[in-house]
Chain A
Amino acid sequence: MATFFGEVLSVYSRAVEEDDEELEENEEDEQIRRELEEKRTVHLHWNPEISELLRAGNKVQCSSFILAVGHNAASFLSAYILASANWDVVGRAVAWNEMSRSGTGPSGEGSACVFYRHKDEPAALICHVTCHIAEDQLFQWTEKVFGYLQTRGLTVTVLSDSSVADYKTADYLCSSSAPFLRSLCSSAFSDQPVCQSLEQPNIITGLPAAVLNHCQVHSIAAAVYQCYSDVTGPDSITMDKYKPVLTKLGRSIQVYSSQSTDVLCKFVRSSEIQSNLYI
């Protein structure tokens, strides 16, 4: 929609289209639709060791599954946990959609969905998500990934980030209060979350919501920690807010905090270089 002054605004509408029952589809349309649907299927690629295990009918043994969704959460995980070099890449998930860049192929650097496993504690699994997973792929992604995991005794921790503009509160949020952390837990999660619970009428969407729904319905212990930030790119203050979660994670996996500031700075700098607004 263009306004009087000519700027283009994206308008969100709650109106719903009526299904067009009479729509006669010819065979070619149907084939295109089917092929598109097939192309949007989520694929998981595991390393030979895990593939072997799965082929034998086993599942991946896992007691702690940590997901990081979004740039802040993913960079935080890279700095504090993955930087210890005790982690092996064990697989990746590929989901093609309208946001996928053509040409970079399934293993396109920069945006991906990679699974890591701890060298000494194979029951700790990390999923590092920096790519976009479309709304229609979220359910499928979750079903497929959890289909490979042994879910008995599993605890899922999801770190994600969101804009403070999406947070609703009756009090006016002054700029000093952001960033802040909120949690949402499945009924099977008996532990105490490290921060305040997300207040109504706020909701979470996207991959964290898909994972939490799956865990709720299948009685798996899960907690989502959502950080609301007022900075659009990755920044170190926002990432710092995830720190309390480390105390929970520290029970199952080794947390690596030396040098983490350097690594954090590296992530932040790389995003700053891209911005030429104030050169």
Chain B
Amino acid sequence: MFISSQDSPAAFKGFTLVMPAVAVGNVGQLAVDLIVSTLNMSRVGYFHTDCLIPMAGNNPYASSKADAEELHTPAEVYTAAELKLAVLQIRAPIIQTRSRKFRQQLKSWIKASGFSRTVVLSSSHAYQRDDQQLQGISLRYLMTPSMLAASADALKELGWREMERIPAFPGVDADAEPRLCIPGGGITKGLYTDSCAEDLPLAVLLLFCSEGDNIPDAFALVNHLNDWLHLLDGQSEQPNSKWKIPTSWSLLFGSGIPPALF
């Protein structure tokens, strides 16, 4: 359930919603962190739900001591009004038995808020790709019919690759209908198929990756998104340098090393 953190209710009419799916390597969540931190977006509310494991911490995007002490919760909504952009960040795993309920809550919030389109940033296990998926770049997209109708021109220009449907029983039953498979993608597939059925304009951008240091994957995904939405303008030699890494990304591999070791 969305709860506004401001006195006036948040207005999302006509906004583009970007949200992560909690998936392999947390790539979508890291990419969203880059967007919020770089665009200096402001928090407008919380997505308060029993489907996420509770956690709390101080400001993950703190830039100075002054704004470091500000409480943040597992799921929060940020906006950049001038870009007509809203972002939902999810910081905790979804309780497994409640993933269907969580999808339902998300969909009803998306519908009630009047977002013009939704973009889900996700990832999938690199080791489960089939032969055709192994070739070329590791970024894929999926669009619901209503989203496809609105973005056909942009898509042609971008030259992106659609996520391949793979045969259900490779080599056994050649006539079987190939199906969409996003291993390790969490709620991605459910959210996409539901949105197709309910005619919601939704796009999925996903990346094949493995668990580990997923920071380069997050940059790849957010740059890919930027090619389409133009959140940050200006072509630079190093596309990664235009994004601002949040302070919460420090110590990803644990605490400092004991000096007595050396």
Contacts and interface: CB of A to CB of B under 8 A. Distances in A.
- Are the chains A and B members of one assembly? yes
A200 B25 contact: no
B50 A169 contact: no
Interface string A227-255: 00000000000000000000000000000
A174 to B, nearest CB: 8
Contacts of B185: 16, 18
A159 interface: no
Contacts of A208: 56
Contact of B56 (A18, A136, A197, A203): A203
Contacts of B171: none
Given A170-B256, A217-B3, A202 B250 contact: no
A200 B250 contact: yes
Contacts of B136: none
Contacts, number: 138
Contacts of A14: 24-26, 211
A206 B186 CA distance: 22
A217 B74 CA distance: 11
A184 B71 contact: yes
- The range of chain B's interface size is 35 or more
B141 to A, nearest CB: 18
A216 B56 contact: yes
A170 B250 contact: yes
Given A136-B97, A213-B54, A168 B25 contact: no
B60 interface: yes
Contacts of A197: 58, 68-69
B132 interface: no
B58 A200 contact: yes
Contact of A205 (B25, B53, B182, B247): B53
A6 B200 CA distance: 52
B26 A19 contact: no
Which one of B46, B73, B257, B258 has the highest number of Cβ atoms from chain A below 10 Å of its Cβ? B73
Nearest to A170: B256
B182 A186 contact: no
Interface residues of A, number: 46
A166 to B, nearest CB: 10
A17 interface: yes
Contacts of A199: 58, 68
Of A184, A213, A224, chain B has the most CB atoms within 10 Å of the CB of A213
Interface string B37-61: 0000000001011100111111110
Contacts of B99: 19
Interface stretch (B78-86, B151-159, B187-195, B227-235): B187-195
Contacts of B62: 200
B57 A18 contact: no
A172 B54 contact: no
B9 interface: no
B50 A139 contact: yes
14 contacts: A14-B24, A15-B211, A17-B96, A18-B183, A18-B184, A167-B255, A171-B256, A173-B255, A184-B71, A201-B252, A204-B57, A209-B55, A213-B46, A216-B56
6 closest pairs, A vs B, by CB? Answer: A203-B57, A139-B50, A210-B54, A16-B186, A209-B54, A209-B56
Interface of A: 13-19, 21, 33, 37, 135-136, 138-140, 142-143, 167-173, 184-187, 197-206, 208-210, 212-213, 216-217, 224
Interface of B: 3, 22-26, 46, 48-50, 53-60, 62, 68-71, 73-74, 93, 95-100, 125, 181-190, 193, 211, 247-252, 254-259
Given A170-B256, A200-B248, 4 more contacts: A187-B70, A187-B71, A200-B57, A216-B71
